[in-house]
């Protein structure tokens, strides 16, 4: 007797040139089966062939979800093509895909086994449906990443100038040319920042809500724009824990028995631009905000590692941007104390009775 298929999924392992695909089904008995594999080129021609392949294998009236891992920018055209043509697409962060793959009986990691795992993940997990970023956030993300690249380039040039000046025989011509490049890069950075401000000014809601994020000590316009652009205005972020994981700031700890005991560290399997954007703001917040400074001092006193405490403040700054953006509130360093006072107002303070004196 033929069993009825209830769920279908296609896992896509994306690379620069290829799309390695696996088609999986789940029947009414709960059995999952990989029924087909095929590789397509990562281009519009390959996307159309992928859709034709899907139609041949798909059972009618059952939606097929395409699941792929976020790999730089190589997945973007595939995801956009499928979404534009009305198909369900789910994007999975690398750390989530890796953790799920570890739960399967897979000993050898290849493109094919990765596609199998993604297809099975699409069947077993409730994955959020991907939607392309809004045009304004996508433009701001492009501009912020271009600015970040120029800042890194400027740092390299300044280091070269320092090395040249520190040498025994500095070349004045080289130093002059490098200084001119620094001026040129600075001008380009200013142009990008001006363009970013113009983009923000075209959207009243974005302009208004950015003020809430920028009210956090240490968080300025560029930091707020980077966080908002990289998360598409927190469109698919449901909670702070998901945001921390997306940024790759979730903590990894290996602790088993008495022999396995590694130091806790952040995964770094996420958006590097988010992690970088809150680094300097966190250091500034530690200096100028009492609440953040108290968090830093408490953690340093606990384990003595300043960088580890600074990362915790970075995570707190990122969460604070998310909270204030959604609640549309200004930052208040005394918020927790006010909440405590409001909760305990009007309550009588019980004074313990004095012990009776022995006669």
- Contact by Cβ (8 Å): 151, 189: yes
Statement to judge: residues 239 and 197 lie in one domain: no
Pick the last residue of a domain from 167, 187, 202: 202
Statement to judge: residues 115 and 183 lie in one domain: no
Total domains present in the chain? 3
Q: Is 173 domain-assigned?
A: yes
Statement to judge: residues 24 and 49 lie in one domain: yes
What pairing do the DSSP bridges indicate for beta strands 5-14 and 18-27? antiparallel
Exposed/middle/buried for residue 276 (C-beta within 10 Å: 0-12, 13-18, 19+):
middle
Pick the last residue of a domain from 149, 174, 202: 202
pLDDT confidence of residue 351: 45
d(CA 210, CA 213): 5
Statement to judge: residues 22 and 111 lie in one domain: yes
Q: Is 223 domain-assigned?
A: yes
d(CA 45, CA 48): 5
3-state secondary structure 258-317: CCEECCCEECCCCCHHHHHHCHHHHHHHHHHCHHHHHHHHHHHHHHCCHHHHHHHHHHHH
Pick the last residue of a domain from 180, 202, 224: 202
Statement to judge: residues 305 and 275 lie in one domain: yes
Statement to judge: residues 220 and 160 lie in one domain: no
pLDDT confidence of residue 1: 58
Q: Is 316 domain-assigned?
A: yes
pTM: 0.79
Statement to judge: residues 161 and 85 lie in one domain: no
Residues of the domain holding 150: 135-202
Statement to judge: residues 287 and 230 lie in one domain: yes
pLDDT confidence of residue 297: 95
Residues of the chain with pLDDT under 70: 1, 253-262, 336-359
Statement to judge: residues 241 and 165 lie in one domain: no
Statement to judge: residues 254 and 158 lie in one domain: no
CATH number at residue 14: 3.30.420.40
pLDDT confidence of residue 94: 79
Statement to judge: residues 198 and 269 lie in one domain: no
Q: Is 58 domain-assigned?
A: yes
Statement to judge: residues 294 and 220 lie in one domain: yes
pLDDT confidence of residue 101: 87
pLDDT confidence of residue 357: 46
């Amino acid at each position: 007797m033929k069993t009825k298929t209830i769920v279908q999924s296609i896992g896509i392992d994306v690379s620069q040139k290829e799309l390695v695909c696996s088609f999986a089904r789940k029947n009414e008995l709960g059995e999952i089966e990989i029924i087909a594999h095929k590789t397509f080129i990562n281009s519009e021609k390959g996307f159309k062939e992928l859709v034709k392949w899907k139609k041949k294998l798909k059972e009618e009236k059952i939606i097929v979800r395409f699941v792929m891992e976020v790999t730089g920018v190589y997945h973007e055209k595939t995801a956009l093509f499928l979404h534009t043509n009305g198909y369900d697409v789910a994007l999975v962060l690398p750390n989530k895909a890796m953790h799920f793959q570890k739960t399967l009986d897979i000993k050898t990691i290849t493109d094919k086994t990765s596609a199998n795992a993604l297809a099975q993940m699409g069947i077993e997990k409730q994955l959020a449906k991907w939607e392309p970023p809004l045009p304004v956030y996508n433009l701001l993300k492009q501009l912020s990443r271009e600015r970040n690249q120029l800042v890194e380039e400027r740092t390299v040039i300044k280091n070269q100038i320092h090395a040249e000046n520190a040498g025994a025989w500095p070349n004045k011509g080289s130093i002059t040319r490098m200084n001119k490049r620094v001026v040129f890069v600075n001008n380009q950075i200013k142009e990008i920042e001006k363009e970013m401000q113009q983009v923000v000014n075209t959207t009243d809601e974005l302009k208004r809500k950015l003020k809430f994020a920028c009210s956090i000590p240490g968080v300025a316009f560029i930091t707020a724009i980077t966080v908002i652009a990289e998360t598409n205005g927190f469109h698919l972020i449901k909670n702070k824990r998901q945001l921390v994981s997306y940024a790759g700031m979730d903590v990894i700890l290996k602790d088993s028995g008495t022999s396995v005991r590694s130091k806790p560290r952040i995964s770094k399997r996420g958006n590097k631009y988010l992690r970088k954007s809150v680094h300097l703001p966190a250091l500034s917040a530690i200096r100028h905000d009492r609440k953040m400074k108290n968090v830093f001092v408490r953690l340093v006193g606990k384990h003595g590692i300043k960088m580890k405490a600074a990362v915790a403040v970075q995570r707190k700054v990122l969460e604070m941007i998310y909270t204030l953006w959604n609640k549309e509130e200004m930052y208040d360093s005394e918020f927790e104390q006010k909440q405590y006072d409001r909760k305990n107002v009007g309550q009588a303070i019980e004074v313990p009775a004095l012990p009776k004196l022995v006669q």
